[in-house]
A and B are shown apart, each in its own frame.
Chain A
Amino acid sequence: EPEVTQTPSHQVTQMGQEVILRCVPISNHLYFYWYRQILGQKVEFLVSFYNNEISEKSEIFDDQFSVERPDGSNFTLKIRSTKLEDSAMYFCASSVGLDNEQFFGPGTRLTVL
């Protein structure tokens, strides 16, 4: 069964460093998303991506964040200068269409020291 994959599973970084989180969405899906979940809190939407551009973003997704689909399979989230409060689980998701269910990857646990 096709699934969303994410790497790395755990990333530890120093405050102020750049990190890139990687995702491989399900191959026939057209919409891609990033969410985050701070420990013990709700899953929060960050950004959606369609047709090689951002379609929606939340207020969390400020200038420190960027997304890219560098090739036909990968979808990345870059955080330019990490802060302590960026520590969270980051989930990638993909869907066939706009109103269809989103399938989530296993997540990357980001720890900023």
Chain B
Amino acid sequence: EDQVTQSPEALRLQEGESSSLNCSYTVSGLRGLFWYRQDPGKGPEFLFTLYSAGEEKEKERLKATLTKKESFLHITAPKPEDSATYLCAVQGPETNNNDMRFGAGTRLTVKP
């Protein structure tokens, strides 16, 4: 059973068109939820860590929020350079101590 499900799989936006990406998780006793950005052929680039429901983090045009079952990555007025795959990952008791369980990602394309 997938512990991390991301939706949509792909999202195409016009520049300036705000939207949200979803990450739902089934891990109980969440120890941390992480958002990463991944460009083609590159390693995941860390964006945010969220530890408890109600927590929010912001960075430039991105804002991440967390509830007990899901996290949202809100993108406000995106630019073409925001095009990338956005990955969500969780740590919890079922993921043992150290490993992060990744979702399949949302591939975001922002057209000028």
Interface residues of A (CB under 8 A from B): 4, 31, 33, 41-45, 48, 50, 55-56, 58, 89, 91, 98-107, 109
User: Using a Cβ cutoff of 8 Å, how many contacts connect chains A and B?
Assistant: 60
Q: Which of B13-51 contact A (CB under 8 A)?
A: 31-32, 34, 36, 41-46, 49, 51
Using a Cβ–Cβ cut-off of 8 Å, how many residues does chain B contribute to the interface with A?
A: 26
Taking CB atoms, residues of chain B closer than 8 Å to A55 are 97-98
Q: When the two chains form their complex, are residues B100 and A107 in contact, meaning their CB atoms are under 8 A apart?
A: no
A102 to B44, CA, bound (A): 9
Given A31-B98, A42-B102, A43-B102, verify A101-B46 contact (CB < 8 Å): yes
Interface residues of B (CB under 8 A from A): 31-32, 34, 36, 41-46, 49, 51, 87, 89, 91, 95-105
Q: When the two chains form their complex, are residues A107 and B91 in contact, meaning their CB atoms are under 8 A apart?
A: no
A103 to B51, CA, bound (A): 17
